[in-house]
Amino acid sequence: MKVLVAVKRVVDYNVKVRVKTDNTGVDTANVKMSMNPFDEIAIEEAVRLKEKGVATEIIAVSCGVTQCQETLRTAMAIGADRAILVETAEELQPLAVAKLLKALLDKEQPGLIILGKQAIDDDCNQTGQMLAALADLPQVAFASKIDVADGKATVSREIDGGLETLSVSLPAVVTADLRLNEPRYVTLPNIMKAKKKPLDTLKPEDLGVDVSPRIKTLKVNEPPKRSAGIKVPDVATLVAKLKTEAKVI
């Protein structure tokens, strides 16, 4: 069984994000970039399925600029067998990425597609769901445990009331949550091996997909700075301030 895993290159989670001076977006110049943490969990889960003998091949896919090759090499160092980069300088929105993945899905015919539940840059949490809809496949979002056997995937997910367990027939789309696993540390020998693994580069035109943006970002602002708190002498003053100043009660 082939497993296709989508990975995204994002600003590293340790970096303090800054807005551009012209308010057109986030400043990424000279900023450390890395693999989206949820996608790292997705790759790790695919590798674990291969180690169990369930998966035979893991294909890592990324869509974006040339530098996404570094992210794909990291995915191959974790354990992916080969990688595909859909290279474009366009700003990719979830629907465009879902269409690109759908085209690759038709080409590769994987038995399972795993994505991170969301990217930490835009927090859209849409690509997996859109891909499942476009490909007309069963889906489970926010997976915290995955078991694959007899052509079915049994997936546990966290909901407000506790855990929900769903069984879906393969092929299916699964999005990985934080508690699915803890990604392994990438060793130097595996980094060296990843350099020799195949990485194919395609263009959106090769897949017949129009990736032009459907949504326009008008302005990006930093959140307002929080004002300092105050101390009140008693409960009556607190209630009065909540009524008259904060207007929350």
CATH of the domain at 35: 3.40.50.620
Helical packing angle, 37-51 and 68-78, nearest 10° = 30
Helical packing angle, 127-135 and 94-108, nearest 10° = 50
pLDDT surpassing 90 at residue 248: no
Q: 189 has which bridge partners?
A: none
Residue 101 lies in a domain: yes
Mean pLDDT of 53-58: 94
CA distance 101 to 90: 16
pLDDT surpassing 90 at residue 247: no
> Regarding beta strands 152-159 and 57-64, do their DSSP bridges make them parallel or antiparallel, or are they unpaired?
unpaired
Q: Nearest CA to 152 among 132, 172, 173, 170?
A: 170
Residue 12 lies in a domain: yes
Global confidence as pTM: 0.85
What residue type is assigned to position 3 of the chain? V
Helices (H), 3-93: 37-51, 68-78
| Counted domains in the chain | 1
Q: Using an 8 Å Cβ cutoff, are 209 and 99 in contact?
A: yes
Summarize pLDDT for 103-148 with one digit per residue, the tens.
Answer: 999 999 999 999 999 999 889 999 999 999 999 999 999 999 999 9
pLDDT surpassing 90 at residue 41: yes
Residue 249 lies in a domain: no
**Residue 224 confidence (pLDDT):** 85
> Regarding beta strands 152-159 and 162-169, do their DSSP bridges make them parallel or antiparallel, or are they unpaired?
antiparallel
Residue 8 lies in a domain: yes
Mean pLDDT of 147-158: 93
Q: 156 has which bridge partners?
A: 145, 165
Q: Is 64 helix (H, G, I), strand (E, B) or coil?
A: strand
Mean pLDDT of 191-201: 94
CA distance 30 to 50: 36
Q: Using an 8 Å Cβ cutoff, are 42 and 4 in contact?
A: no
141: which 2 tokens? 């979002």
Mean pLDDT of 145-153: 93
Q: Nearest CA to 78 among 32, 120, 45, 111?
A: 45
Range of the domain at 126: 2-244
Q: Report the share of the chain in percent with pLDDT over 90.
A: 76
**Residue 205 confidence (pLDDT):** 94
